Amino acid sequence: MKIMTKLNQEILQKFPIFDAWNPTEPTMFQVMDHNGEIVNSEYANTITDQEAVAVYEWMLKIRIADEKCVNMQRQGRMGTYPSVLGQEACQIGAVYNQQKSDWLVPTFRESGMIWYKGIPLEKVMLYWIGNEKGSEYAEDINVLPVAITVGGHLPHATGIGWAERLKNGNNITVCSFSDGATSEGDFHSALNFAAVFNAKTVFFCQNNHYAISTHRDMQTKSKTIAEKAFAYGMPGVQVDGNDIFALIAVMKEANQLARDHNIPTLVEAVTYRIGDHTTSDNSKLYREDGEVEDWKPKDPLIRLRAYLFKKGLITDTQEQEMKDKAKEYVEATVKTALETKDPNIDDMFKYLLSESYPALEEQRLQLIEEFTNNQ
């Protein structure tokens, strides 16, 4: 876009999706429509047919695991859980093009994303069960812990992407959040710093239309979230967040802009939170059933499924096999998670500082005594 005077136009020209996106006449980038028809043939082969089948299988896995988590909460076997129902394409698309050592800085509605990125499902479940062992990630995986405070993690992603440039490193950082987070002051600080310091960071906003009961339209007067990028002198794009092909195409460009050119970007993925905010929420209090029904046909799974069936890339039997396999895996994982012992009583003292100190040790011993003495 010509209005971005400070941006290197020569570089941007090599990134046609970002280059073409116009904040004064915003359009949603799409490759595949709701019926699984390709509407943008230039990007039809962003991934191979085989890869598309694998992505579909992952979407099924995420949906099945997510449903299971909601049920576990209902049965009192898990704490409050935020469902990703309807956002499966974003969960995968945000990190699909990442290399293993790239960073992910997630918020809380990312159970599928962190699993896809490589955190075992068992860990994801343990965290929501309320067992600290769920926060023990392997050394070789660059994923920050679930961020519960909305917006607070955005500047952290800026810092990681900034450090990577300073180190002449090759890793990029994807920071995921949703529409509500764009109202926090930290959103401004994060994007501004990222642009000023040329951080290798991609800001990925899952605009799922709600922040609990607050509709996206009450969150900001801006027509799109993507256009906010331009105020920071960074490229932005709005993309159909239920269209996995479009997401992958956009993130490919975004990652390369960050990796090769130290140009951070803002990607707004338009999707919809089909479920309640969390298992503690009742969305009937604030939104019409009709609205949810209108979004259901735009589901990312329905659309990819239609595409795959039309192209004869998958059969009913194969699909059923995928589902059965996923269910079996999820059930086995639930079992392991539930059988995992709770952390020790004094676990809370273990990682506080690099070393303990006498007053803290005294408290730890008091706690141990409290729960081992039957006075």
Partner 1 sequence: MRELKIVDALNEALHQGMEQNDKIIVLGEDVGKEGGVFRVTTGLQKKFGVERSVDTPLSEGGIIGSAIGLSINGFFPVCEIQFDGFIWPGFDHIINHVCRFRTRTRGRLTTPMVIRVPFGGGIHALEHHSESMEAVFSHIPGINVVIPSDPFSAKGLLLGALESKDPTIFLEPKKIYRAIKQEVPEEYYTIPLNKARIEREGSQVTIISYGAMLRETKKALAEFIKTNPIDFELIDLVSLSPIDYDTVIASAKKTGRILIVNEEPRTAGLAAEIAAVIQEKCLFDLQAPVIRVTGFDTIMPLLKNEDYYIPGIKRITKGLNQVLA
Ligand X SMILES: Cc1ncc(C[n+]2csc(CCOP(=O)(O)OP(=O)(O)O)c2C)c(N)n1
Question: Active-site residues: which are they?
Answer: 273, 277, 286
Tokens 């995992």 locate to: 340
Q: Which is nearer to partner 1, 311 or 350 (CB)?
A: 350
User: Among 134, 130, 148, which residue's Cα sits nearest to residue 76?
Assistant: 130
Residue 131 binds which entry of partner 1, ligand X, Mg ion, none, CB below 5-8 Å type-dependent: partner 1
Tokens 């509407």 locate to: 39
- Round to whole Å and give the CA distance between 146 and 123: 12
Strand ranges, E, within the chain = 103-105, 173-178, 201-207, 210-211, 214-215, 236-240, 265-270
Contacts of 212 (CB under 8 A, 6+ apart): 180, 277, 281
- In the window 193-222, what residues touch ligand X (CB under 6 A)? 208, 210-212
- 77 to 116: interface string for partner 1, x by CB under 8 A: --xx---------------------------x--------
- In the window 277-296, what residues touch ligand X (CB under 6 A)? 277
Residue 109 binds which entry of Mg ion, ligand X, partner 1, none, CB below 5-8 Å type-dependent: ligand X
- Round to whole Å and give the CA distance between 322 and 84: 20
User: Which span (4-12, 129-137, 240-248, 264-272) binds partner 1, by CB under 8 A?
Assistant: 129-137
Would you say how long the chain is, in residues? 375
Phi then psi for residue 140, to 5 deg, are -95, 20
Residue 348 binds which entry of partner 1, Mg ion, ligand X, none, CB below 5-8 Å type-dependent: partner 1
**Angle between the N-to-C axes of helices 316-339 and 49-74, in degrees from 0 to 180, rounded to the nearest 10:** 40
- Number of Cβ within a 10 Å radius of residue 275: 22
**Cα angle: 91, vertex 195, 193; to 5 degrees:** 90
Site membership for ligand X, residue 91 (CB under 6 A): no
Site membership for partner 1, residue 214 (CB under 8 A): yes
Of 176, 178, 265, 279, the one binding ligand X by CB under 6 A: 178
Site membership for partner 1, residue 49 (CB under 8 A): no
Site membership for ligand X, residue 109 (CB under 6 A): yes
Q: Which is nearer to partner 1, 281 or 319 (CB)?
A: 281
Q: Which is nearer to ligand X, 111 or 333 (CB)?
A: 111
* Least distance CB 34 / ligand X (angstroms): 22
Residues that bind Mg ion (CB under 5 A): 178-180, 208, 211
- Round to whole Å and give the CA distance between 243 and 35: 11
* Least distance CB 174 / partner 1 (angstroms): 21
Site membership for partner 1, residue 137 (CB under 8 A): no
Q: Where do contacts with ligand X occur on this chain (CB under 6 A)? A: 109, 148-150, 178-181, 208, 210-212, 273, 277
